[in-house]
Amino acid sequence: MIAQINTGRGFGGLVNYANDIAHKNTVIIASAGVSTTTNATIVASFKAQARMRPSLKNFVGHISLSFHPDDTPRLTNEFMAEVAKEYLRRRGIVNTQFVIFRHHDQPHGHVHVVYNRIDNDGNAIKGDCNFRASAAVTKALTREYGLTFGKGKRDVRRSHLKGRDAVKYQLYDTISAVLSHCHDWQTGLIPVFLKNEFMGDPFFWSMKSILTIHNLKFQGVWDIETLEGCTGFPKDLFTPDKLEYKKNGNMLKGGLVYADYITTVSDSYAIEIQSPEYGEGLNGLLYARRLDMQGIVNGIDYDVYNPRTDGKLYVNYDASDFRKKKWQNKTKLQQELGLTVDKKKYMIGLISRLTDQKGLDLIRYVMDRVTDEFTQFVVIGTGDPQYENMFRSYAWKYGDRISANICYSDDLAHKLYAAADAFLMPSRFEPCGLTQLISFRYGTVPIVRETGGLRDTVKAYNEYENSGDGFSFRNYNGEEMLNIINYSKHIYFDKKKQWNQMVDRGMANDYSWNRSRGRYEEIYDYLINR
């Protein structure tokens, strides 16, 4: 047996659904304090009592109790009424109006209980929408009455399902595992459903959830009324300790509250988002959940990003021969983009969403000083018009040195990874970043700001120890970035042997999914077995 709970105020449609006389699939099996002559008299009875406490707007409670098809021989009207009334008693729903309707529109037996949340003395009934308490009572009644757990997911007619029931049975049909791994706000409500709406169903009792934050800036915020309508969640889930955020509903926040475990896409980002600077308003919640959270750096597909076999490159190469062949990709790309063809030019690449997150204001500040006669700059990306137009303007001003490709082109991106000498990523914040990982793979040296996954994956070059695989700067400052870019030029032009050794180290890095997989498996094992 399972239970589902709803509350509301406009319930004429609910009563018409519960007492569907037209289709003759409904029978009233019990009631108290209500005239059941017609649906209109039921509604009128409820409204009359609700006037005793007009401040309680959601005065109608609705509970559906569903039984397993195996229990059908026992499901007399009297038996189902007894179980439903005992459920109400244990949930503290007493001394009030109620009507219990039995439906025959599904293979499994089920009843709909409509009750007044304002009791006969004018007091508000409290705690009746606690899903965990409801699940506990349902489990206890199932055992005590010798009923079967669950209602037989294969025996439910999918065509009749709407709202959260449709979500639930989609999970039934697609999930056979005991763990659901969710990603970002788009899936943030799954842990909420699992810990609340679905807790009355044994199918979900052992299911655990992980939520991975790829970018905390995007949280899925909508007005509460819209989310209530889409999910069927009661109002008590839209409180500051659950889904409410600045008087709106926040889907990512809901996932962070109810997920069994949280991951981010780098160790540093997991720490950063616990601070006001990077926490996007959720830093307090994330700090509270810090013991159930860790960062795991993303991986890339080493088959797709392989300069030896990549069919999109002009010339293929690998770590053994990049010194002889990589430059040929540069001259071919220079020719294609209309830049000065010269293998000795220092080519800096940037592939990015063109947004303020990516540090483009820093580039605006230094671009005139970066693109000297020895340097070329190639951009691929789309985004905010102000940044698109900024790069178009620079390309018009420095036509032989700067190429602005305001587009998405996977072919061109692969060519640039292979052609560029360095890749610039001056991000204001960066949960993980993939560009620097792909750059390593193609023997291109990343220049990054020390934040999030960039700090975790790029080891700053030390010319005295001849160590490191890239260049980095700490503060979000244009002059500091310019200094490190100029330093990278010095190493490239004046210490080419050390530069090539840095490329060797970068190409030897392993940022494939094989590296990340093991850490995820450890978390899965921990959750499943605890």
C-alpha to C-alpha distance for 247 and 230, rounded to whole angstroms: 17
Does 10 score more than 60 pLDDT?
A: no
Does 161 score more than 80 pLDDT?
A: no
Least confident of 36-50, 105-119, 193-207: 193-207
Structure token digits, residue 476: 């979000």
C-alpha to C-alpha distance for 206 and 157, rounded to whole angstroms: 25
Does 154 score more than 60 pLDDT?
A: no
State the pLDDT at residue 495: 96
**Nearest C-alpha neighbor of 216 from the set 430, 361, 449:** 430
What distance, in Å, lies between the first and last C-alpha atoms of the chain? 26
Does 9 score more than 60 pLDDT?
A: no
Same fold across 163-295 and 322-511: yes
Per-residue confidence band for 200, with pLDDT thresholds at 50, 70 and 90 = low
State the pLDDT at residue 455: 96
State the pLDDT at residue 403: 98
C-alpha to C-alpha distance for 503 and 491, rounded to whole angstroms: 12
State the pLDDT at residue 174: 59
State the pLDDT at residue 140: 85
Give pLDDT tens digits for 354-376: 999 999 999 999 999 999 999 99
Q: What average pLDDT does range 197-205 have in this prediction?
A: 72
Q: What average pLDDT does range 396-420 have in this prediction?
A: 97
Average pLDDT taken over every residue of the chain: 90
The CATH architecture annotation of domain 163-295 reads 3-Layer(aba) Sandwich (3.40)
Give percent of the chain above pLDDT 70.
89
State the pLDDT at residue 497: 96
Q: What average pLDDT does range 54-78 have in this prediction?
A: 86
Considering only residues 413 and 132, tell me which one the structure prediction assigns the higher pLDDT. Answer: 413
Least confident of 5-14, 32-41, 476-485, 509-518: 5-14
Does 290 score more than 70 pLDDT?
A: yes
State the pLDDT at residue 360: 97
State the pLDDT at residue 234: 87
**What string of DSSP letters covers 70-85?**
GGGGG--HHHHHHHHH
Structure token digits, residue 320: 């053994």
State the pLDDT at residue 157: 59
C-alpha to C-alpha distance for 351 and 379, rounded to whole angstroms: 6
Are 249 and 224 a contacting pair, CB within 8 Å? yes
Does 175 score more than 80 pLDDT?
A: no
Does 2 score more than 80 pLDDT?
A: no
State the pLDDT at residue 16: 73
C-alpha to C-alpha distance for 225 and 197, rounded to whole angstroms: 18
State which fold the 322-511 domain adopts: Rossmann fold (3.40.50)
Burial class of residue 284 in the structure, from the number of CB atoms within 10 Å of its CB (0-12 exposed, 13-18 middle, 19+ buried):
exposed
Considering only residues 51 and 423, tell me which one the structure prediction assigns the higher pLDDT. Answer: 423
Secondary structure (3-state) at 468: coil
State the pLDDT at residue 315: 97
Number of H helices, E strands in the chain: 19, 18
Give percent of the chain above pLDDT 90.
68
Question: What's the CATH number for 2-155?
Answer: 3.30.930.30
C-alpha to C-alpha distance for 208 and 190, rounded to whole angstroms: 10
At position 416, the amino acid (one-letter code) is L
Does 201 score more than 80 pLDDT?
A: no
State the pLDDT at residue 136: 79
User: What does the domain layout of the chain look like in residue ranges?
Assistant: 2-155, 163-295, 322-511
State the pLDDT at residue 252: 97
C-alpha to C-alpha distance for 245 and 238, rounded to whole angstroms: 8
Are 248 and 221 a contacting pair, CB within 8 Å? yes
Are 125 and 61 a contacting pair, CB within 8 Å? yes
Structure token digits, residue 258: 């109810």
Are 131 and 91 a contacting pair, CB within 8 Å? no
State the pLDDT at residue 173: 61
Does 261 score more than 90 pLDDT?
A: yes
Does 318 score more than 90 pLDDT?
A: yes
